[in-house]
A and B are shown apart, each in its own frame.
Chain A
Amino acid sequence: MAERSFAREVRDLELGEGQEFRGEGILALTKALLQSGVAYVGGYQGSPISHLMDVLSDAQELLGKLGVQFSASASEAAAAASLSASMMYPIRGAVTFKSTVGTNVASDALANLASSGVVGGALIILGEDYGEGSSIMQERSHAFAMKSQMWLLDPRPDLPSIVKAVEDGFELSEASNTPVMLEVRVRSCHVHGSFIAKDNKRPAYTLREALENPVRDVNRIVLPPASYIQEKEKIEKRWPAAVEFIKSRKLNEFFDGDLADVGIAVQGGMYNGVIRALQRLGLADVWGKTRVPLYVMNVAYPLIDDELTQFCVGKRGVLIVEEGQPEYIEQAVNTILRRRDIPTRIFGKDVLPMAGEYTADVMLKGVRDFLSAALPSALSDASRAPNVPAIADDPRVKALTGVVPPRPPGFCVGCPERPIFAAMKLVEKELGQHHIAADIGCHLFSILPPFNIGASTMGYGLGPASAAAFNVPTDKKSISFIGDGGFWHNGLTTSIGNAVYNKHDGVIVVVDNYYASATGGQDILSSRADNATRSTKHPITKAVEGIGATWVRQVDRTYDVGKMRDTLKEALSDKEPGPKVIVASSECMLNKQRREKPLFAKAVKGGQRMVRERYGVDEDVCTGDHACIRLSGCPSLTIKHSDDPLKDDPVAAVDNGCVGCGNCGEVAEAAVLCPSFYRAEIIHNPTSFDRFMARIRGAVIGFLQRRRARHALAVS
């Protein structure tokens, strides 16, 4: 069960011919798949394409009706491999994942698929996680297209263009027997817009038909000599077929302008940014009318030599707008023009930055510098002057540095991973700093304040594998973390199996919170919930033991900081060779609250006796040293200014967001911090026995309190 319900969005997926679809880019993509007669979809969740997976997961009834098979793939590799169904059968399939990280994982399968070629349309939807909001290394997916000879679509960032790209992509794939990648950037995935829908289509040829009529062709399998033939075929047949299709279907767009001496060739995804830059220079308007001719490459790879030649010929200068590095398109365009001896000067990364996102101001500066060099008369005096906003230099704005705090993402209120790292911090206080390898997932937030734990991250499921070299005798073992998501993605073999086989003497902590939480709370093999369409409840410890680990400890309540700390210490001091695996399990609080809150409210409403817990701080006991916060970072454990004239520093306070997980109390206890924390148990609908006891207790306690108050002085 993902953390968000897509019930409303699923209804939108059923819209028919002529109806208007309104929503996010990523959901438009999903609808486009169904309109294209896709027979199977797979993928691995991750920003920015998680919603595509989640909405399909919630739409299984509709998919069933349409005859669409949907897999929540174990990894991007699994997703990409599933496209082999389109290799021999005229079946359309699509997979999706985050790129470039997912494409890295998938590239073995993708390279094989690209070599074999396809007969059914095969579409790979890549969430191009580049620029602001990205959570990964900054690279381009473009390289994968070039190395494997797959085609790369990069549509303009509006819903009709994105939807059209899906439909075109399948056809292009079939026309050229080549898998097609479609990249959408973070903002395009989340852009809200509309398009006119078409009816959903059932697959023309079904998976069942394929299974019942199997086909094989040894020339399609990647083995010599077929692999040599396939390479030639890519260049001699599939590429020209693709170029022909792209040309004849006009997938790339030309926008005329009267300043014919110059032009801008732009990746589709950058189009809106270019228009805005031109608009700011007085050379385009908000409806897309432009004075500078544009060539919009909705197909970023392959390049269409004829179109580029046609665009460039007779121009003094052409600017290539492609984000990220290296500048593949610019290099290729230069080659194309040189071969044809066309003297048009190509601008690109000389006026635009090689690295980094093309933000509005970067784009403006790039286009302006290009025009200043290639056609200065196009610029008005006003727009030629660099408009550095003076406001940034105002001392009152500069004073904000150090006042506005950074606010990186962190563990949620009540997160069960927090106590694991609190325990880790306590262990390090006692035994000194260790080499700690981190992994990908929410638990990577440990590298940030207040925990500051974790020295490296090498990829999903690779945390323990990244500590593999540190397998030498020492008193300070390496410690590595891996989440349940990464564990099932590939970590069981790559990390745990690797450590077992090599008798790696390190400590491995598997952070098990019952879901792939960082990507939105999708179920995985070890999820504890019932899932009608997937097989869950496979314990991680069983898998770890199955692969040969002998030192395995299960901690069932991570909030028990003392136990967590002791287990870590036990693992670190163990003398037995081989990995010490600690599986630390507690349910993701975000998901737990979503599940339990309505049930609790219902029970209270129904008159049942229910106990709600939350935590608090006695502010007169708190001295404002904030040691508790340095071991927690919980959003609901905050501070407030004290009105006590004798206190200088703010005191700790627990706000109403508290879900009563108990971490702060446990930490205060385990770390011997202070006695300020209390847990309040609030009894809803108390029974008559509760009331009776409360009356007696109240009477005795009240008597004693009044007695002492009388003896105390009459202060306040």
Chain B
Amino acid sequence: MNVASQTALDTAKPLAIAVLAMGGQGGGVLVDWIVAMCERQGWAAQSTSVPGVAQRTGATIYYIEALPLPPNAPPGLKPVLSLMAVPGEVDIVIGAEFMEAGRAIQRGLVTPDRTTLIASSHRAYAVVEKQTPGDGIGDAAIMLKAAEATAKKLVAFDMAAIGDKTGSAISAVLFGALAGADALPFPREAYEATIRAAGIGVEPSLRGFAAAYERAKAGTPLEITPPPKKIVAPRTPQGDYAALVAQAQAEFPDETQMMLAAGLQRVVDFQDNAYGREYLDLVKGILAIDRADRGYALTQAAAKYIAVAMAYDDVYRVADLKTRASRFERVRKEVGVAPDQLIYTTEFMHPRMDEVAGSLPKALGRFIESRPRLFKALDKFVNRGRRVRTGTIRWFLMLYILGGLKRFRRGTLRHANEVAHRDAWLVRVKQAAAKDYDLAVELLNNRRLVKGYSDTHARGLSKFDRVMAAANKLEGRSDAAEWVRRLRDAALKDEDGVALDGALKTVDSFLH
């Protein structure tokens, strides 16, 4: 074959843009805008996507390549563009959600030599994050670190919030961030003209665009802060409560004040001032064996979890919470009710005989509980779903009266059970504290495992018991506290305790 003279190759490279979004976020709209804008500027552009079934809430990736046509391009000249993103050769990555931007980084699409990463810092949690019995939320700080490490330029802020504020879809906000990031050689007007030409929802889109443009231009770096906790500071404590607050402030070290204030308020709100005094006494019992050189970690944990244990969730508490004015107000706000609209709420309640027996005076409750046939017969009558229309007078009164019955709570079976459980736990904590301070703190923290209602509550209790039992066996080892913490984390990983089983087996393996 003849050897042709070496072909002269054009070294122009297309600009590559990858968009990672979730189904329903309008990623397609954004991509259409970018392509249309490029074409209006005399560029050739191509987009493609692999939606598959991802329109049903899954992750989707869109990919665009574009490049300017040479000035003397013959009509019909078309570049040969890639249909998929090339890792390491992407100029702009747009993540319409923070972890989707993370996915782009994982795929190698974001590289320090060329990629502008535009990421909305808001989160739409995935099912695996939401279903964890504990806290399964992916750590945004780790994601931010990865973004800062990989992006040549990072533009990250909460674009969903800007969308909400301006009434625009997130696609327009992302488009504004893209313009503000100066990653494409087009003026702001070119972007806005594209939105106008598309002709759908123009005004809100332009508002969202402008807000994001300014924010991106300003270049304020994103900061990830731990989610804020409410600081409980009673405005004007009165009467006996004021005395309790004063006592707490006087008798406890500074390190414990914040948690103590929250705990005290919770238990008094749950029952009464006397209950608050009881709380302070219990925490004081822990303070007595605490150590200043450890920053009173034991008392801090006690202040938190003794309050949680004392303010357990029973029928009276739920009825009380559901009928409060503050709750009515919160619902109005959450649901977003306009002043000219009315709102009623229906509660989904499903009491079982267990809860009813627990709410009865101790002796009566025990009497019923110890007679399975009677219990079953009564359960048949009680155990069904009840829809409670809290906004109507009849139902409100019922809940209101039920909430008022909390004054009899101290005499109930449930209360007796809770007190017994709590006391046994605290005895155990004090025993441990004498020998292993850290272990004692972890034993207090284990109370985190007890939560939920009915079966979920029972499962939580059983996990609590198993971790406490393992702690008995671990006691005396230098790493006992560490292992208890690991067991607790494992218990919070899944509902059925599969991870806990595994962790317990590991513990057993080195204990024998």
The chain A residues found within 8 Å of chain B, CB to CB, are 47-48, 132-135, 157-158, 160, 186-188, 190-193, 256-258, 260, 271-273, 275-276, 279-280, 282-291, 314-315, 359-361, 364, 387, 389, 391-392, 394, 396-397, 399-412, 442, 445, 448-450, 518, 562, 614, 616, 618, 620-621, 623-627, 629-630, 633, 635, 637-639, 641-646, 648-650, 656, 665-666, 668-675, 677-686, 690-691, 694, 696-697, 700-702, 704-706, 708-709, 712-716
Contacts and interface: CB of A to CB of B under 8 A. Distances in A.
Given A400-B105, A412-B56, A672 B350 contact: yes
B400 A708 contact: yes
B188 interface: no
13 contacts: A387-B88, A389-B87, A407-B58, A623-B313, A630-B495, A646-B304, A648-B448, A669-B385, A672-B350, A675-B318, A700-B396, A701-B391, A705-B324
Nearest to B327: A618
Most buried by B among A132, A646, A670: A646
B342 A673 contact: no
B408 interface: no
B495 A627 contact: yes
Interface in B67-117: 67, 77-89, 99-100, 102-103, 105-106, 108, 110-112
Nearest to B31: A192
Nearest to B47: A192
Given A639-B137, A673-B453, A686-B341, A405 B4 contact: no
B238 interface: yes
A713 B325 contact: no
B307 interface: yes
A697 B391 CA distance: 7
A633 B99 CA distance: 18
A444 to B, nearest CB: 9
A391 B234 contact: no
Interface string B261-297: 0110110110001000000000000000000000000
Contacts of A192: 31-32, 35, 46-48
Chain B CB within 10 Å, residue with most, of A273, A407, A702? A407
Listed from nearest, the 10 A-B pairs whose CB atoms lie closest are: A133-B50, A641-B227, A409-B58, A669-B385, A133-B52, A625-B452, A405-B126, A623-B451, A404-B102, A360-B86
B40 interface: no
B12 A681 contact: no
A272 B81 contact: yes
Given A405-B128, A669-B348, A276 B4 contact: no
Given A289-B7, A705-B324, A715-B241, A674 B453 contact: yes
A321 B1 CA distance: 23
Nearest to A189: B48
Interface string B229-245: 11110111111110000
Nearest to A359: B84
A713 B241 contact: yes
A635 B59 CA distance: 13
B363 interface: no
A644 B58 contact: no
B452 A674 contact: yes
Contacts of A656: 336
A641 B234 CA distance: 23
Contacts of A620: 321, 327
A283 to B, nearest CB: 8
B323 A705 contact: yes
- Which of A291, A315, A562, A679 neighbours the largest number of chain B CB atoms within 10 Å of its CB? A679
Contacts of B138: 402-405
B6 interface: yes
A404 B106 contact: yes
A625 B433 CA distance: 29
Given A187-B50, A404-B99, A645-B259, 18 more contacts: A133-B52, A257-B7, A282-B9, A284-B9, A286-B14, A287-B80, A389-B88, A389-B108, A404-B103, A407-B22, A449-B128, A627-B133, A633-B131, A645-B230, A677-B347, A680-B343, A697-B393, A709-B325
Interface in B284-339: 304, 307-308, 311, 313, 318, 321-325, 327-328, 331, 334-337
B262 A287 contact: no
Contacts of A412: 56-57
B23 A289 contact: no
B52 A135 contact: yes
Contacts of B86: 276, 280, 360-361, 364
Given A397-B150, A635-B57, A680-B331, A405 B451 contact: no
Interface stretch (B139-147, B172-180, B366-374): B139-147
B48 A714 contact: no
A560 to B, nearest CB: 11
Given A273-B83, A391-B108, A680-B331, A712 B57 contact: no
B223 interface: no
B404 interface: yes
Contacts, number: 421
Interface string B143-175: 101101110000000000000000000000000
B348 A675 contact: yes
Given A400-B105, A675-B349, A691-B342, A258 B9 contact: no
A616 B334 contact: yes
A683 B57 CA distance: 30
A383 to B, nearest CB: 13
Contacts of A280: 86, 89
B247 interface: no
Nearest to B325: A705
Residue picked from B89, B146, B259, most chain A C-beta under 10 Å: B146
B336 to A, nearest CB: 7
A629 to B, nearest CB: 5
A257 B9 CA distance: 11
B99 A286 contact: no
Contacts of A705: 323-325, 328
Interface in B2-43: 2-14, 22-23, 31-32, 35
B53 interface: yes
B81 to A, nearest CB: 7
B135 interface: yes
Interface in B422-456: 448, 451-456
Given A404-B103, A449-B127, A627-B495, A646 B321 contact: no
Nearest to B453: A674
Contact of B348 (A271, A287, A396, A678): A678
Contact of A713 (B12, B231, B273): B273
B345 interface: yes
A48 B51 CA distance: 9
Nearest to A610: B341
A400 B146 contact: yes
Contacts of B249: none
B186 interface: no
A132 B324 CA distance: 52
B135 A650 contact: yes
B344 A681 contact: yes
B50 A186 contact: yes
A704 B403 CA distance: 12
A678 to B, nearest CB: 5
Nearest to B238: A714
B485 interface: no
B447 to A, nearest CB: 10
